[in-house]
Amino acid sequence: MNGIVRSVLRATSVRNVLSSCGSNSSQHIRTLWNVCGRRQTAEIAPFISSLDLHNIRTRRCYSRSHTKAEKELVEFLAEEIIAEKKAQKLKMIPTEIEGFKVSLNGAEVNLKKRDDTDTIHISFNVNHTVDADTDEDLNSNSDNVEIGEMKSKPTFTVDIIRGDQTLGFTCSFNNQPGASGADDNYNDIFGIDEISLYEGKHSDKVYSVAGEIIDGYLYDLLMNYLEEKGVSNEFAEKLIELSTCYEHTAYVSLLEGLSKFTSGK
């Protein structure tokens, strides 16, 4: 009898426990499952991630085989980059020259400043502008020919903007001082190649005249006008320095990019 009573009481206790849990039982089970699931995920995820990372690195390292030419090119570029960086005169490109603010965009260089009435805008491109300084007295038949310093001497435009009108000059550096000047007595290191005057934006419809065919006195007056606007021989010398340094920096960047491209990094 006592055994029967204990069995009944035990069954009643179990029913009471289950009824007290009621609708919350499934929630407790889900909570316990979620906790265990998150713990297992946290323990397994790093292991899976490390395997994936290893596979990615392996595929990257062995995605392509380097040819003999590529290996030789990479080895040469490593030495060439070091040598070119040592030869750089300026590590930083100046942001201002003679009051002109300098801005860079790829191979394009722009300089701009304002005076009382006008905006003066100078622009040039450093591509294909490098040449070695030559000496007239250099004997080409000599065995000890020394190559002059490499300098960038780009053709550049000077736009003097007043309102909606623009007076435009295309200028280039002379191989010899005074070469393009109307008067041989002048020692200009650059000359006027072309002159134009237009409203709005420039187009092929705008008339322009070559500097070498205009009146000599007019040419001299225009050179004086450019000097008053800040485009003097001294400024032109600094323009050469700027262009040379920036072109060299662009060349080093090209070598570094070529090295990365060839090595597959």
* Per-residue confidence (pLDDT) for residue 183, from 0 to 100: 52
C-alpha 236/C-alpha 109 separation (Å) is 14
Q: Residue 243 in contact with residue 126, Cβ under 8 Å?
A: yes
* Per-residue confidence (pLDDT) for residue 49, from 0 to 100: 46
139-183 pLDDT tens trace: 555 555 455 688 999 999 999 999 999 999 999 998 754 445 445
pTM of the model: 0.69
C-alpha 258/C-alpha 265 separation (Å) is 10
pLDDT band at 190 (very low <50, low <70, confident <90, very high): very high
In this prediction, residues 42-68 reach a mean pLDDT of: 47
Name the pairing type of β-strands 190-199 and 208-210. Answer: antiparallel
In this prediction, residues 63-69 reach a mean pLDDT of: 70
* Per-residue confidence (pLDDT) for residue 131, from 0 to 100: 84
In this prediction, residues 124-141 reach a mean pLDDT of: 72
Greatest CA separation for the chain: 138
Tell me: pLDDT of 235 over 50.
Answer: yes
Q: What is the mean pLDDT of the chain?
A: 77
* Per-residue confidence (pLDDT) for residue 226, from 0 to 100: 97
pLDDT band at 34 (very low <50, low <70, confident <90, very high): very low
In this prediction, residues 17-25 reach a mean pLDDT of: 43
Q: Residue 195 in contact with residue 209, Cβ under 8 Å?
A: yes
* Per-residue confidence (pLDDT) for residue 65, from 0 to 100: 58
What would the two tokens of residue 101 be? Answer: 């603010």
In this prediction, residues 124-132 reach a mean pLDDT of: 92
